[in-house]
Structure formats: structure tokens, C-alpha cells
Structure 1
Amino acid sequence: MKKIALLLFSAAFIGSSNAQNDNYKAYSNYDFQPGKNIIFEDDFSSDIDGEPPQKWKITGGQVIINKKEDRNYANILNFYTTLTPNIKIDPKAKVKTYITDTFTIEFDFYLDERYDSNNGPYIAFQNGGKELKSGVYTSRSHISINNNGENREIALPSELAENFLNKWHHLAIAYQKGLMKVYMDQFRIAVISDMTIPTAGLVLGGDASEGLPMLCSNFRYAQGGNMISLGKKFTDTKIIAYGIQFDYNKASIKPESMGTINAIKKLLDENPDLKFEVGGHTDSDGEDAYNLDLSQKRATAVRDLLIKLGINAGRLSSKGYGETKPLNPNITADDKAKNRRVEFVKQN
């Protein structure tokens, strides 16, 4: 089944026009933008129900794949569960690590309502001795940030804390040369200006209680950030946007897309002569005709949202290209992820 971006078990942006407008308003200040060089992405769709995830190495505890509503997710089963992504490092690289000085991490997670004091899933980083020294830890009331052994706790906004359990959330982390920003759903939770990130590798982990779901899905690690450059005049011919994501098999836009969409709107506001064609692109999985139709619907949905946000309709057109313009060969899952995108192409 074709998809342009990541999946999420969420009803956000689906339903009445009033509900959609409320979501747009809630994310009006959201500014997270994922890196455009995708290094690792996994929605677990290629995994087998009841088996461990294929693209990860389990270094502690247990994780199995479960299926719900035709979608897969990783179910953390034990305390002290840790897993690391199987990311290949170029043997010719001078520095043998995929952790760079600028990157973004995103994933969706879910905690059963019977949890009380347990932390939720977390992201941590290994030093050379495989010890976890720095990381971002979720819980029902706060985010804990371990900065090279020093722990800081930041309380969640009451709106988030009061609706934390039994619900899917989206965690996003942006890091650039010591500056780290942490987001959950529409909120920017923390800004750390002196974050130390070990470079031996990243870890996804959790301390799950037996029989209580602790779920993860839609993991993405990407290099770079702030892909949309804002200035007095926009001179590039196009913007490739990986941050615009859609609900499974639909053209409804996920709320975490608003960081990218807000940046596009600002760019258009600051450059009144700028016009874009919004192009939808897929990988090669699925039927050609289906891919073309879905990519057109998604491109149109992005155009319509920008118009709702105040951009003149005459400045935007939309076109679906399906799988006809790949950026990479559609061989590996990571290459396919780079082909699933929305492009904003400058028009004369």
C-alpha cells in the first residue's frame, strides 16, 4: 500500500471542519522541521506479527511486533528493554558514526492507562563503552533529560499531562551543535543549550510492566534540520519536504506536519511574488494508478491547507506524480522513504 510519509494511530485532522480548524490552531506555533537526509526510518510494516523487529538489534529485554487495524507497531515487553537501529556506516568514512552534530529524531508512542509511575519509551545515546549517558525520557507528568549524567526534569503542560495515558503521542527531538529542542505533540517541552551527545549510537528503550502495552511506531532518524531557509528573497527552485505526513492510506494531514507547513506559509508571506506547485510523490510499491491518485489528493490537501491559512489560491497549484520521479532507486526501505515526499516547486 502506498504512503507518502509515516503512519500514526491517530484521528487528528480527521472529522469535522471545526475539529480540523482546532488542530490547525493548536499547532500554529509548532516549528519542528525534520532533517531532510533520512538515515533510518521504520514503521514496522515489513515485520511479522509476533516476531522481533527486523531492522533493530535487541540489546536488552524483549520487543515483538504486534498488528492492529492493518498497522504494525513495536511492543516493549520488559523492564530494561533496549534496541538499536541497524544503520550501516560507510567503511570509507573518516569518523565511524552516524551521529552527527545536527540531526532529528521522531517516533510515536503509547502507554496503557494502567501505568502510574512508570516512565514511557525513551531515546538515549551510547558512549564508547555502550553506557547510556545522555537521553530524553518520557513520563505521564514530565520529560526527563539526562545530559551526560546530569538529570533535568521539565513538567508537561497540563493539557498534555491530563490526557497522557491510553493515547498515541508524537515525540520529536532536534539537535544542532549542543542546542537541543524537545517536542511532544504540539508543545515545545524543552530547550537545552549545552546538551552533550555521545556518538557511539542511539538507543530506543523502555521499562514495561508485564501485560501493560508500551508501544512505539514510525521511527525516523535524519541528519540536518531547518530545511526551509527563510530570507528576504527565496532563490531556490524547489523545496523537498519530508516533514509533511499523512494518515494511513488517506490524504488527511497529520498535525506534526505543521512545523513544515508553518515555515512554508512564512516563506510565502515574506515573498509575496513567490508561487509554488505542490507536488506529491510516492515510492514504487503498489499499483501505479493508485499511487498517482493518492499523491494528487495529498498534494491538493497541502495546497488547500495553505489557502485556509491565508495564502492566495492563485499562488498555489497541485499535482500528483505518483512514483514517476524517484530521487533514489526503489530498492531499500530507506531509499523508498526518501522517495515519499512533498515538493514545492517555484513557478514563474
Structure 2
Amino acid sequence: MKKLFFLVMIFSLFSVASNGQLLKKLKDKIVDKTNQRVDNNENKAIDKGLDKVDPSTQNGSSNNSKNGNNNSGTNTNQSSNTNSSSSQSATPTLTSYKNYDFVPGDKIIFQSNLTDEQAGEIPSQFTLIEGQMDIQNIDGENVIRTIAGPTITFTPRMTNQQYMPEQFTVEFDYKNPKYGLYHMNIDFGHRVYYSGGEDITPGIQFQDGDVMWTLSSDYPAELNEILKKPNTWHHIAIAVNKNVGKVYVDQYRVINVNNLTGKPNNVTFNISGYEDTYIKNIRIAAGGIDIYKTATTDAKIVTHGILFDIDKATIKPESMGTINQIFNVLQKNPSLKYEIDGHTDNTGNSAHNMTLSQQRADAVKAQLVSMGIDASRLTTKGFGDTKPMDTNDTPEGRANNRRVEFVKM
């Protein structure tokens, strides 16, 4: 009854407004979301009932192991059915990403770099189209803040705003105090809202409990629980290859479509201003690497998908997509041996970079060994900043120089 009264009141307010088409969309959205929340509450009640009779949910034990031990190397993207606290942890680990299969493009064409930006100013690498945004320092790191209020729309500042190839990847980290991913859209042309436009690849709508990209797909139950945790960073990864598109949120692949039309122009972020939102580590890369094909045809594999904490040799969990593919190559080819080479950009002291690159190469080897690869098949070497493959004068060039290579022995 309360639901009905709420809808009647909202529709009464809408009837006196002037923009009929927009209000119809808003009405439909409210109906859908209200129904969805009722359904979600019913499902939660059912789940709780099942938990009481399912002994597998009573022990509360965690199957996670440090540094990804017992990683099967498979890419099923299936999450555990357990309802233990570990399955709903908001803290990503190498183990929680053990089935991740996202691999970024092989040529970075945009990389956000906020290190030298001044707090309170609009980030210089982006064009603000509407709303308000600035730089804020969060936990000692500069990040983008979109400010609560009107809708915020912004896009990377590029000389040519039609810079996207047919095959590309987009990655970024995102958090806010309350609403999860509910109020974010990613478009591939300036404000391609809802329809996508006749000639432009449709945009992605992150909704309450699901994602819409030509089709709708519900988030896994575990991810829905994680998204409820406030002020938690989430890693978003998008991959497009012509008509095929995939979206990942943290370790979960949340949608996979093969009916994309049109062409992408650029990457545009659109955030509804319900609250302040924080974004960092925006990376756009062209192309894609077929690691297995490269391993069988080339003398080395150059990867940009193995990432580390700043100035550390700690592997980021989202690196597991690339590491899993390397693991699969080694597992399928028992005679194959690699030298793992670490490379940095020229930021900082050269001697420090040499040491850091060696430590990072060692960390990758240790991860592969923990997954079951014989240590005798892998050696490591750090090159620091001595072998750049791109300029060190731009954020994109430096990002291309930061890499891990696997050289056949």
C-alpha cells in the first residue's frame, strides 16, 4: 500500500511538469526500481531461509589463501556459492581474482596522471562538459572528485575527439559514499544517452543491481553485497572488439554482449550528482593481445596488464587476467621457459628503478610458482628505465614503458 501511495504522489507531481518525454522515462525508472527492490527483499528472505537448512553456509570459513595459492588458472568467471563473509569481502586479493580473464589493450592511448595536480582545481587532462569536478587528496593520493549537484559529464582532453579504434579497453577505479555504481554511465560519444545514436556505439548504464548495454544483466549476488559497502574502491574494466563487448566490476564479469552497433568516438563519463564520487587510474588502450598466439609465434610477450602498487612490487589483483593467461600458456606447453623482465619509466632515481624492476619481476615469478609452475622454468631480470619502448614525456608514454615482458629462453 505504501508503494502504491508513493507512486501516486510521484505521478501527481510529474503531471504538472512540462517535459513529458523525460518525465515518462523517470516514471518508468521509478516503477522499475521500486519493483526491483521489492523483488530483491523477497530474494533475500528466501536466501536466509535456505541458509538455515544448508549446512555448507554455517561454518563461515574462508577458502582464500594468501598470494593466490591453489589458483587453478581457469577462466570460468564463476564465483563461489558460499555465503561466508570471505565471499562478500570488499577487499580485493589475488585469490579473489583467480578466475579473472580481462586483459587490457596493448597500446595505451590515454593514462590519467594526477600526481602534480592542485587540489580544488579541475583536472587538466579532462574537459568538463557539465556539472562540477575537481582534484581531491584521498589517503595521500590525488583523485578526481565529481561534486554532488547537477549531472557531471567529462571526457579525456584529446586533440581529436574521434580517437577510439574498433578494438579497445577502458579501466578505472571508482567509489562513493552510498550508491555503488547506480548513478554512472559510460558513453562512447558526447552524451549518447539511452539510445546510443545511430552511428555511435551504445553507452553503458550501471544501474541498481544490474548493468544495461543493449541487454540487461544482473550483478552476481556477492557483488551486490560488496557494492553496498560505502567508500569502497571498485575496479571497472571494459573491453570492446567490434560488435562484442564485456564489462567487469572487480573480479566479476557482469555483462557480455555481441550485438554492438556503430563506432566509438571517445570515452565520456556521466555521473548523476546524488553525492560526491571519486575516480582514479583512468586508462584507455587500443587493440588487444592474444597471449597464447603471441607465445607460439613471437620470441617474447609484452604485457601492460600486470600492475603494481605505486613504487612497490605488490601485484594488484586486477593483474590476474594477464597472469592467468601466462599461466595457461606455460601449463599447455611444458617445455616452454621464460625470462621475466621488469621495466619501469624514468620517474625517480635510476638505481632505485633498477632494483624495483627486479623486485617486480621476482614477484611475478613467485605468483606463477604459487600457482603450480616449476620455478626452474622461470628466471627474472630487472632493466629499470634503461629500455624504454615509448617516450617518457607523456603519461601515456610512461605507462607504455611500465611493463613486464616474457622472453623465451
- Per the normalisation by structure 2, the TM-score is 0.72
Shift of the 97–291 alpha-carbon distance from structure 1 to 2, 3 Å rule, reads same
Larger Rg: 2
Residue 103 (1) aligns with residue 168 (2): yes
Compare the two structures and name the one with the higher helix fraction.
2
| Mapping 1:1-348, distance limit 5 Å | 18-21=65-68, 23-77=93-147, 78-89=149-160, 97-113=162-178, 115=179, 119-126=182-189, 131-132=192-193, 133=196, 134-145=202-213, 147=214, 152-164=215-227, 165-166=229-230, 167-209=232-274, 212-230=275-293, 234-347=296-409
Contact 1:74 1:216 in 2 (8 A): yes
Helix, strand or coil for the counterpart of 2:124?
A: coil
Q: Name the amino acid aligned to 1:44.
A: L
Runs of 5+ consecutive residues of structure 2 not aligned to the other structure: 1-63, 70-92, 197-201
- Residue in 2 that maps onto 1:13: none
Contact 2:166 2:264 in 1 (8 A): no
Runs of 5+ consecutive residues of structure 1 not aligned to the other structure: 1-16, 90-95
Distance in 1 between residues matched to 2:207 and 2:144, nearest whole Å: 18
- Greater relative CO (CA pairs within 8 A, separation 6+): 1
Contact 2:169 2:284 in 1 (8 A): yes
Q: Which moved more, 1:40-49 or 1:235-244?
A: 40-49
- Residue in 2 that maps onto 1:92: none
Q: CA deviation at 1:45?
A: 2.0
Contact 2:237 2:248 in 1 (8 A): yes
Contact 2:105 2:285 in 1 (8 A): yes
Shift of the 158–79 alpha-carbon distance from structure 1 to 2, 3 Å rule, reads farther
Helix, strand or coil for the counterpart of 2:268?
A: strand
Deviations 1:63-95 (A, max 9, x none): 101012321111111332111112234xxxxxx
Distance in 2 between residues matched to 1:179 and 1:126, nearest whole Å: 18
Helix, strand or coil for the counterpart of 1:199?
A: coil
Aligned length: 313
Q: CA deviation at 1:197?
A: 4.5
- Per the normalisation by structure 1, the TM-score is 0.84
Q: CA deviation at 1:225?
A: 1.5
Distance in 1 between residues matched to 2:192 and 2:99, nearest whole Å: 36
Q: CA deviation at 1:293?
A: 1.3
Contact 1:234 1:271 in 2 (8 A): no
